[in-house]
Each structure stands twice: as C-alpha cells, then as structure tokens.
A = this chain, B = another copy of it.
Amino acid sequence: MRRSVKEVLSSKEAANDVVVAGWVRTRRDSKEFSFLEVNDGSCLGSLQVVADAGINGYEDIQAMTTGASIKAKGNLVPSPGEGQKWEMQATSLELVGTAAEDYPLQKKRHGPEFLREIAHLRPRTNLFGAVFRTRSRLAQAVHRFYGERDFVYVHTPIITANDCEGAGEMFGLTTPSDSLSEGESFFGKAAHLTVSGQLEGETFACALSNIYTFGPTFRAENSHTSRHAAEFWMIEPEMAFCNLEGDMDLAEEFVKELTLGILNGPADDFGLFSKFVDRDLEKRLRNIAECPFARISYTE
C-alpha cells in the first residue's frame, strides 16, 4: 500500500515496509549507496531515500535521473540529515518511468517565463506545486464556507444568450457545420460564453434564499495583460432578503476565513511564498484576517 510523502514525512514513529512513489528530484551516488530525493507533490518536501548498492532494482539506478518516476520500498528511520525528521532506508527500488536526457527541470531555480513554456511540467516545481495545492485548498474552503451557512451551490449556465450589465466583451460560439442542416442553428439563437452567473444566481436566490456560484467566466477583451484573463473562476453569492450591511458582513467574513485558512494551513507551502515570493505576505494576510474592514460609501 503506497503512502504519500506527506504522510510519511509527518509520521509519528519509525515504520517498516513503507512504499512511496514519486519523481526523482536529485540523486547522488557513492560507491556503496545512492541518495535519492523523491517528491510526489503531496507536499512541498521530498523524502530522502537511501539505497544501498545491491538491493533489488538498484541495477536501474543510472536511469533514475532527475524527473524519472520510481517506487521505493523500505524502512522509515530517523534521518541524521538536517531539516528532515525521517528518511527511508530502501529495501527495493523500482524504475517506473525514465526522464528524457534533456529533461528541463534541473536542480536550479527557473523563472516563471521559462516555466510557462513547459506548462505540463510546471506543477512539478516547488513554486507551482505550492500554488496549485494552495488554490485547491482555497477552492475547497469556499465550498465549506458556504456549505456551513446552508448556501445552495448553483451551476449557472456557461453557454448563454444573455449579457450581464455589459460586464465585458463576450466570446461567441460556433458549431461544427457538418452536424447541422442548411440554415439550422444549434441553439436556435446566437450563443455566447457567460460573463457572469449573476442573472441566474438571482433567480435562484429568489427561490432558495441564499445561493452561490463558483464556476468559470469569460471575457473577450483583447487586452493580453496580467489584469485581463480570458477565462477565470468566479464566486458569486446571492442573498434574498438581505441588505448592504449583511452583504458586507458576509464578504468580510468570507475573505477573513479564507485568509485565516491559508495562514493556518500547511507551513511548508506558505513558507515558500513568504520566503521567496513576498516577504511581507504574512504581515499583510494577518492584517486582513485580524483587522475589521473599513467601510466607505461609493461617493467617498
């Protein structure tokens, strides 16, 4: 039974016959044994696997290069190395998949522009692994927040014939013409990608009282900057019988709870952001989580 690196690293005690699998970050060989850093994306950290020459599977050790995928079985023992509580003394190794000789993620820091070009490998880096784990935790926290408050999660239509308050330029839809007869139109009218689920959300709130949407939204503004995404996920709560105060209360509670979730979440991912991305991050998030929001009127 495979265990995640996250489970193994946070183990309370030594254990025998543990199986992990993941991707080799680095390998160092000596004559008698090899060290392999194995990461499986379950957390930021990697497990150090010590493989003595001669164990089962060691014959493939030269193919276990950075990026290769392997399984390792062995005993979890206290690590003499610094910064890690446990390491694995392997009893067998298995090469699952090799990495190309020009595998691009070598042990050095890569810039985001370079990583954008290899988007399929990007989640294997420390930074993007942490980004996507954090995004996932936030998304799940959104559902927990509204679920605990009995808000009904509504999937509003993505394909729509509506516009929403002129919120933005819309993408249009075309249909493969060979599936339609002459003059036939798929939806019977022009269809677009939604710029907001608000209209449908409001009709649901006018029946179920409190609802929220959480889905993708699209804007066709031809402005390719970091502030204009053609596609993004948006959360829209709608409450019947509420007023502006209640709306602001919910918004503040929501932002605070999600922020607090990040501050109290896994320290490794958060530590990476506050160490390498933004040294003021913790201070700023604490301020959001702990200070009452100032409220100003529109004309202010």
The interface of chain A, by Cβ under 8 A from chain B, is 2, 4, 6, 21-23, 40-42, 69, 71, 96, 119-124, 129, 132-133, 135-136, 139-140, 143-144, 147, 150, 152-155, 157-159, 169-176, 179-180, 184, 186-187, 193, 203-204, 206-210, 215-216, 218, 220-222, 230-231, 233, 240-241
Q: Bound complex: CA of A50 vs CA of B124, how far in Å?
A: 63
The closest CB in chain B to the CB of A192 belongs to B174
Contact assessment for A220 and B186 in the assembled complex, using a CB-CB cutoff below 8 Å: yes
Contact assessment for B209 and A42 in the assembled complex, using a CB-CB cutoff below 8 Å: yes
Contact assessment for A6 and B174 in the assembled complex, using a CB-CB cutoff below 8 Å: no
A69: chain B residues at CB < 8 Å are 206, 240-241
A42: chain B residues at CB < 8 Å are 150, 208-210
Contact of A175 among B135, B153, B172 (CB under 8 A): B172
A159: chain B residues at CB < 8 Å are 171, 218, 230-231
The closest CB in chain B to the CB of A188 belongs to B224
- Per DSSP, are chain A's interface residues mostly helix, strand or loop, or mixed? mixed
The closest CB in chain B to the CB of A124 belongs to B207
A212 to chain B, nearest CB (A): 9
Contact of A207 among B121, B152, B157 (CB under 8 A): B121
A128 to chain B, nearest CB (A): 8
Q: Bound complex: CA of A215 vs CA of B214, how far in Å?
A: 10
A153: chain B residues at CB < 8 Å are 135-136, 139-140
A184: chain B residues at CB < 8 Å are 222
Q: Bound complex: CA of A154 vs CA of B216, how far in Å?
A: 12
Contact assessment for A233 and B172 in the assembled complex, using a CB-CB cutoff below 8 Å: no
Contact assessment for A222 and B150 in the assembled complex, using a CB-CB cutoff below 8 Å: no
Question: What are 28 contact pairs spanning A and B, CB under 8 A?
Answer: A2-B241, A4-B209, A21-B241, A40-B208, A41-B208, A69-B206, A69-B240, A71-B241, A120-B206, A121-B203, A124-B207, A132-B204, A136-B152, A139-B143, A139-B155, A143-B143, A143-B144, A159-B218, A159-B231, A171-B174, A172-B174, A172-B176, A179-B220, A180-B222, A186-B220, A193-B193, A215-B216, A216-B216
Contact assessment for A129 and B218 in the assembled complex, using a CB-CB cutoff below 8 Å: no
A240: chain B residues at CB < 8 Å are 21, 40, 69
Residue of A42, A120, A136, A186 with most chain B CB atoms under a 10 A cut-off = A136
